Amino acid sequence: MMNSIAMCTYNGEKYIKEQLESIIHQSLPPDEIIICDDGSNDHTISAIKETMRGWRGSWKLVQNEKNLGYKKNFQKAISLCQGDIIYLSDQDDVWDLHKMELMNQIFVECPEVVTVFHDAELVDESLHVLYPSFWRASLDFDYREFIAGDYRKVLDHNVMQGSASAFRRIVFEKASPFPEEAVHDEWLLLVSLLIGKVVPLPKQLLKYRQANNVIGGLPVTFSEKVKKWGGSLRSALVQHQREIIRRVCVLDELMGRAESCEGVSNFSNLFKCYRSFLMLRNSCITHHNVKVLGSFWNYVMYYRWSYGTKYVLKDLLVIVLSD
């Protein structure tokens, strides 16, 4: 199988060399590296060319004529890849030496697997470990529950870090074009669950650097949550409802794609039921109707007790305090 890397860069001169070196020195090197730069105005381009000059593999640097934003830039980078398996890469992480070898082994041994993703260490700019597990610290993700068929965390929030994932070409073919409402890694995971098997690999195979990330990985502390809700309560309530609507839009798009997919998994029914519940929540919030609270068991079913209680309280706050 041919392995491709889809990397996106933007003003990443500080760390791009270290990231590229961790990729080209893999125990199982990639067959191809595609780098899409989104209009960097620092020395990112020269750093890339200098680092890649001595590598004998196939690589290509594409400089966008205009800034696309990270979501569209990743879609473009993936579309240029020729590989059977596509790995996503950020510009400032550091990969474990055996990352590709371990992930590729799963694809070779399990043809039904369409996507693999792994855990990561959260590190500072100097690669000092802040948290040993991104899954536990920030995502509250237990891979054993996922493997056992409990996918409630996926319904609540994205659990797959793009730069920690790899997928078969068929995933991108079904996922493209990416909908405006969805984040690229969130969308790729949902489509993957719809068409095949997804494997979470419980190994920290990259150092996830917390430095100028578009989407940060550090956990939000209780005091930060209090500050967010207390400092701008109305804004937080509006954002809460907008997230519900966004998730509905993403699921609508997903169901539309499901109609064109052969052999769609039973996730289709799960997503449809969850969408209906989100619509009920949004309707009750919009019409200031506490009827949704009578469906508390639905909250528990989709989010468990702790998360279910949290969302009940948030929905109730929106209903009571909104005009």
- Dist CA 298 CA 302 (whole Å): 6
Residue 8 makes CB contacts below 8 A (sequence gap 6+) with 35, 36, 37, 38, 70, 73, 74, 77, 89, 90, 91
Asked, as a colleague might, if the bond just before 177 is cis with ω within 30 of 0, I would say yes
Contact call for residues 184 and 178 (beta carbons, < 8 A): yes
pLDDT at 323: 58
Backbone angles phi, psi at 177, to 5 degrees: -80, 150
- Dist CA 41 CA 272 (whole Å): 44
Residue 143 makes CB contacts below 8 A (sequence gap 6+) with 119, 135, 200, 201, 202
Instruction: Please tell me the number of Cα atoms within 13 Å of 211 on its side-chain side.
Output: 20
Nearest to 73 by CA among 139, 126, 2, 12: 12
Contact call for residues 72 and 62 (beta carbons, < 8 A): no
- Dist CA 14 CA 306 (whole Å): 41
pLDDT at 67: 96
pLDDT one-digit tens code per residue, 120-167: 999 999 999 999 999 999 999 999 999 998 888 998 899 999 999 999
Contact call for residues 62 and 32 (beta carbons, < 8 A): no
3-state per-residue secondary structure call for 267-321: HHHHHHHHHHHHHHHHHHHHCCCHHHHHHHHHHHHHHHHHHHHHHHHHHHHHHHH
What token pair was written down for 80? 């240029």
- Dist CA 166 CA 121 (whole Å): 18
pLDDT at 222: 47
pLDDT interval class at 321 (50, 70, 90): confident
pLDDT at 262: 61
What token pair was written down for 39? 């209009």
Residue 179, judged by CB atoms within 10 A of its CB (0-12, 13-18, 19+), counts as: middle
- pLDDT at 293 exceeding the cut of 70: no
Q: Considering only residues 150 and 17, tell me which one the structure prediction assigns the higher pLDDT.
A: 17
Mean per-residue pLDDT over the chain, rounded: 90
Nearest to 251 by CA among 296, 287, 285, 302: 302
pLDDT one-digit tens code per residue, 176-232: 999 999 999 999 999 999 889 999 999 999 999 997 655 556 665 545 555 555 557
Helix axes 233-258, 184-195, angle to 10 degrees: 40
- pLDDT at 264 exceeding the cut of 80: no
Q: Please compute the mean of the pLDDT values over residues 105-125 and round it to a whole number.
A: 97
pLDDT at 234: 75
* Domains assigned to the chain: 3-209 (3.90.550.10), 222-321 (no CATH)
pLDDT at 228: 55
